[in-house]
Structure 1
Amino acid sequence: MDFPFSRLRRWPDVEADNLQAHDATDLLLVERALASGLGGSEIAVIGDDYGAITLALTDAGLDGIRVHQDLATGRRALARNAEELGLSAFSAHELDATLLDGARLVLLQLPKALAELEEIADAVARWAAPDVVLVAGGRVKHMTIAQNDVLGGRFAQVQAQRAERKSRLVVATEAVPVPAEPPFPVTEQHDGLVLVAHGGAFAGPRLDIGTRVLLGVLDGTGASSRPAPTVVDLGCGTGALAASYALAHPESRVIATDRSAAAVASARATMVANGIADRVVVMHDDAGSEIADASVDTVLLNPPFHLGSSVHTGAATRLFEAAARILRPGGELFTVYNSSLGYRAELTRLIGVTEQLERTPKFTVTRSIRR
């Protein structure tokens, strides 16, 4: 295979010497597709982080590949890499029937969350061709028997292949009948707050413990009793922070933004469930890039500390930088993070004076004032 994988970039996602835009699993999935003899219009790709699978197949002459990427960063990276390589004969879709209708081969980079895998497996069995073959791959160290069990809920045959280059493919065939209604989204009630979650949304319909701590601190400091004109829930997940703030302060303009399409779909459904869809704007965006500079009074942030399966603080740093850009001078950033990460010095450097509002054995909550 002579596709120039080394030319692919992760941009605008975090780039570092130990972070690549492709891996051995991508290569195995590409090889499997090329060996299938199918045309591009019969192939769908899910979870192609930066476009390595889609672009390698397109470069090999398979036109009409359909691709779904959850992350806004991945979508932008695919577009940038495609432009760089002069490739365009593919189309992007959400996880729906337009992605999968008539697909006979689905290539999947295995997601981290079993709930996300369950939603994907259901979508493939529900909308793809009756004889569809789902080929899921991942790095061996991140794969579990539980993933096979999830696939077995929608396919009669699930076979793990021999590991190669520290990656493995799992082939699922013979889709079984699906229930009338898809298994996602799911809903839970939390003391007057309804959370709705698709499979790929962090923490599902539960109220994440870090978010719970931050909400408690906002109530305890009186911050939530002083409504800000414009509030952003940066990296909103299912929208718990945005919805809670909007419910308490109907006079505030609230924006919820996340780079995950599953999170955005969940947050939009959360706003509908709480009757505030007309008062909260939910955006699929990368680190608030579509929000104007110095336009926000308050940012609420529960940052991630993983990039895919890797523990990496770069994702949090990008969100701190985004908060610094969108906050007006004197604006406030409320952050909750794992206490072991010690972000206070970085927040002071990037935002401004930072004070600790709460510290538990697991979480720290800070308030930073934009200089």
Structure 2
Amino acid sequence: MADNTVASVLAGLRRFPDVEAPNLQAWDATDKLLLETASELLTPESRIAVIGDRYGALTLGALAGYGVRDVKVHQDLITGERALRNNAAGLGIDAGFEQLPLGAALFDDADVVLLQLPRTLAELEEAADAVARYAAPDTVLLAGGRIKHMSLGMNSVLQRYFNDVQPQLARQKSRVLIARDAKPVTGPPPFPVADSNSELDLTVCARGAVFAGTKLDIGTRFLLRYVPDMPSVPHVVDLGCGTGILAAMYARIHPESNVTATDQSAAAVDSARATAEANGLAGQITVLQDDAMDSLPDGSAGLILLNPPFHLGASVHAGAGIKMFRAAGRVLAPGGELWTVYNSHLQYLPALERFVGPTRVAGRNAKFTVAVSTPRAA
């Protein structure tokens, strides 16, 4: 009965407001395997903490399939948070879960933690530290992932925080690691970290889930060459800001401008805020968690800086970039400019022309293209 209910829940899930396409699914085999593995531990009295529930499969599967009445969930992406609420409403589940940051409140009274394994060891370490630091010592962690994305390094990270880590048999190309008996944690949390970038003379701060950590990714490095050539305008947006390097460097070169650094990731927003503060730029940079500038008014930015992702989860997909181009076309003021750096093989120029307006190539190297788009006259 529970399996049928879970299957019904999974079948009803959507990714919206994240990008949707026929080849993009709102759940994967790991979600199903984690729920099946957890079923041996769950009762209606169980209190579950969930980390990394992309669109609500784990949270809603536990509530509907196993009668659990108390689930606390942390999702890094604002699109995931909204999708969970949308899916809950669509399934008629109006209670039983609470969305929280990665911190002590998430693990209050939890006896089981479900974790969709992240892609990076840094993000896994931040999650494992939080479980060991804040959950009760007898709390059981079930960490699951697709085998092709798992590594022995993940076992090693968990073994630093738990005395007992047991890999389970693989099923449907997924595997669950069961971690028990958390080790005592002392000292401050390992994240955020702060490193001095001598190339930029900038302190960069990063939480575990942020792309490239404190390093300068090569696309951003190429776009930074053009910051001195960019116009000085009252309001600038660093769209998909990550650790906030672009926002900080523009703000430093153009001290008369106000910069909004925005990202859908809570970890990125925390990192960008810390980067601004560490470099004395907090008064000039406003940091905002948002989905493709949804909360910014039409025509409100004279300049938008963009280094768009070309992955949606584990899939290479242009949808994320297209969504950002559409948003830029709306938020740019008349005469404003969108400066985009992208992998040249993606051939984004037609999309920029279509969704923003006239576009020229400002620069190109062996790997990247920098394009400048201006909004089409109404």
Q: Same fold per TM (> 0.5)?
A: yes
SS for the counterpart of 1:36 is coil
Alpha-carbon separation, structure 1, partners of 2:181 and 2:215: 33
* Counterpart selection for 1:139 from 130, 136, 146: 146
- What is the Cα-based RMSD across aligned positions, in Å? 1.3
Equivalent position of 2:246 in the other structure: 241
Counterpart selection for 2:103 from 81, 84, 96: 96
- Distance in 2 (CA, whole Å) between partners of 1:114 and 1:307 is 19
- Checking the alignment, whether the CA contact within 8 Å between 2:46 and 2:112 is kept in structure 1 is no
Does the 8 A contact of 2:38 with 2:142 survive in 1?
A: no
How far off its partner does 1:278 sit? 2.4
SS at match of 2:369: strand
Query: Bigger shift: 284-293 or 150-159?
Result: 150-159
Question: Where in structure 2 are the equivalents of 1:294-309 lying within 5 Å?
Answer: 294-309=299-314
Give 5+ residue unaligned stretches, structure 1.
none
Unaligned runs of 5+ in 2: none
Counterpart of 1:125 in structure 2 is 132
Q: Is 1:32–2:37 an aligned residue pair?
A: yes
How do 1:1-371 residues align onto structure 2 when only pairs under 5 Å count?
Answer: 1-3=3-5, 4=8, 5-39=10-44, 42-59=47-64, 60-87=66-93, 88-190=95-197, 191-219=200-228, 222-223=229-230, 226-371=231-376
**What is the CA-CA distance between 1:174 and the residue it aligns to?**
1.7
C-alpha separation between the residues in 2 aligned to 1:189 and 1:342? 34
Instruction: Report SS of the residue matched to 2:226.
Output: helix
Aligned AA for 1:129? A
> 1:192 offset after TM fit, Å?
2.5
Deviation at 1:40, TM superposition (A): 5.7
Work out the CA distance in 2 between the residues paired with 1:39 and 1:356.
59
Residue type at the aligned position of 2:280: G
Shift of 1:39: 4.7
Please tell me whether the aligned partners of residues 116 and 144 of structure 2 are also in contact (alpha carbons under 8 angstroms). yes
Using the TM superposition, give the Cα deviation of residue 42 of structure 1 relative to its aligned residue in structure 2, in angstroms. 2.4
The verdict on how the C-alpha distance between 1:41 and 1:92 changes in structure 2, with shifts beyond 3 A counting, is: farther
Contact kept? 1:112, 1:308, Cα under 8 Å:
no
Report the secondary structure of 2:222's partner residue: helix
Q: Is the 8 A contact 2:146 2:175 kept in 1?
A: yes
Q: Distance in 2 between matches of 1:343 and 1:189?
A: 33
Deviation at 1:35, TM superposition (A): 1.8
C-alpha distance in 2 between matches for 1:316 and 1:150:
33
Percent sequence identity over matched residues? 55
Amino acid at match of 1:334: W
Counterpart secondary structure, 2:38: helix
Could you tell me the TM-score, scaled by structure 2's length? Answer: 0.94
TM-score for the superposition, normalised by structure 1: 0.96
Contact 1:45 1:65 in 2 (8 A): yes
| Cα-to-partner distance string for 1:183-219 (whole Å, 9 max, x where unaligned) | 1111112233211000001110112211111011222
Matched-pair contact (CA < 8 Å) for 1:40–1:65: no
Paired residues in the alignment total 367
For 2:173 and 2:289, locate their aligned partners in 1 and report how far apart those are by CA, in whole Å.
33
